[in-house]
Amino acid sequence: MLRPPSFSPGPPSMARLILSLLAVVSLSAVQAKQTFLGVITDEICGQAGHMSMRMGPTDAECTVACVQAHGARYALADGKNTYILSDQQTPEQFAGQEVKVVGTLDIKTKMIHVESIVAAK
Write the pLDDT tens digit of every residue in 61-116. Answer: 999 999 998 899 999 999 999 999 999 999 999 999 999 999 999 999 999 999 99
Going by their DSSP bridges, the two strands 82-85 and 111-119 should be labelled as parallel
Confidence class for position 10, pLDDT limits 50, 70, 90: low
The CATH fold assigned to 34-119 is OB fold (Dihydrolipoamide Acetyltransferase, E2P) (2.40.50)
Contact indicator for 119, 99 with CB cutoff of 8 Å: yes
Distance, in Å, from the CA atom of 27 to the CA atom of 7, rounded to the nearest integer, reads: 34
Q: Which residues contact 71 (CB under 8 A, 6 or more apart)?
A: none
Section 22-45 average pLDDT: 78
- Give the rounded distance of the alpha carbon of 26 from its chain centre: 18
What does the pLDDT read at residue 13? 73
Distance, in Å, from the CA atom of 111 to the CA atom of 106, rounded to the nearest integer, reads: 5
The structural domains of the chain, with segments of one domain joined by +, span: 34-119
Question: pTM here?
Answer: 0.71
